[in-house]
Chain A
Amino acid sequence: MDDAARIVIVGASVAGLTTAETLRAEGFAGSITLIGDETHAPYSRPPLSKHVLTGEWTPEQADLSDPIELAALNLTLIQGARATSLDIRGHTVTVGGEAISYDTLVIATGVAARRMAGTEGLAGVYSLRTLDDVVALRKELATAKRVVVIGAGVLGSEIAAATRKRGLEVALIGRTSELRLGQVGSHLSPLIAALHRENGVDLRLGFDVTEVIGEDHVSAIVLSDGTVIPADVVVAAIGSLPATEWVSDSGLELSDGIVCDSNGLAAPDVYAIGDVARWRDDLTAASTRAEHHLKATEQAQAVARLLVTGEESPAVVPFFWSELYGTKIQAYGRFPAVVPLTTIASEPGGARFVAASVQDGQVLGVVGWNMPRDFRLARADMVAAAEKPQSTQPELVGSETGSQHA
Chain B
Amino acid sequence: MQITVNTPACVGAGQCVMAAGELFDQDDDGIVMLLEDSPDAAQQAGARRAASLCPARAIKIAE
* A residues with CB within 8 A of B: 18, 21-22, 25, 44, 46, 61, 64-65, 293-294, 297-298, 301, 319, 321, 323, 328, 330, 372-373, 375-376, 379-380, 383
Q: Is the CB of B30 within 8 A of A372?
A: yes
- Given contact pairs A328-B30, A372-B30, A373-B28, A321 touches B11 in the complex (Cβ within 8 A): yes
- Given contact pairs A297-B53, A297-B55, A328-B29, A376 touches B18 in the complex (Cβ within 8 A): yes
Q: Is the CB of B14 within 8 A of A22?
A: no
A18 to B51, CA, bound (A): 12
Which DSSP category, helix, strand, loop or mixed, fits chain B's interface? loop
B25 to A, closest residue via Cβ: A373
* B residues with CB within 8 A of A: 9, 11-15, 17-18, 26, 28-30, 48, 52-53, 55-57
A190 to B23, CA, bound (A): 38
- Cβ–Cβ < 8 Å partners of A380 in chain B: 18
A375 to B28, CA, bound (A): 11
- Cβ–Cβ < 8 Å partners of B28 in chain A: 373
A44 to B6, CA, bound (A): 15
- Cβ–Cβ < 8 Å partners of B11 in chain A: 46, 321, 323, 328
Of A21, A44, A319, which is within 8 A of B13 by CB? A319
- Given contact pairs A25-B52, A321-B55, A376 touches B14 in the complex (Cβ within 8 A): yes
A21 to B, closest residue via Cβ: B52
For this complex, 27 residue pairs linking A to B, each with C-beta atoms less than 8 Å apart, are A21-B52, A22-B52, A25-B52, A44-B56, A44-B57, A46-B55, A61-B9, A64-B57, A294-B15, A297-B52, A297-B53, A297-B55, A298-B53, A301-B52, A321-B11, A321-B55, A328-B29, A330-B14, A372-B13, A372-B26, A372-B30, A373-B26, A373-B28, A373-B30, A375-B14, A379-B18, A380-B18
Known: A297-B53, A321-B55, A373-B14. 16 other contacts (CB 8 A): A18-B52, A21-B52, A22-B52, A61-B9, A65-B57, A294-B15, A321-B11, A321-B13, A328-B12, A328-B30, A330-B12, A330-B14, A373-B26, A373-B30, A375-B30, A380-B18
A193 to B56, CA, bound (A): 27
- Cβ–Cβ < 8 Å partners of B29 in chain A: 328, 372
Q: How far is the CB of A54 from chain B (nearest CB, A)?
A: 13
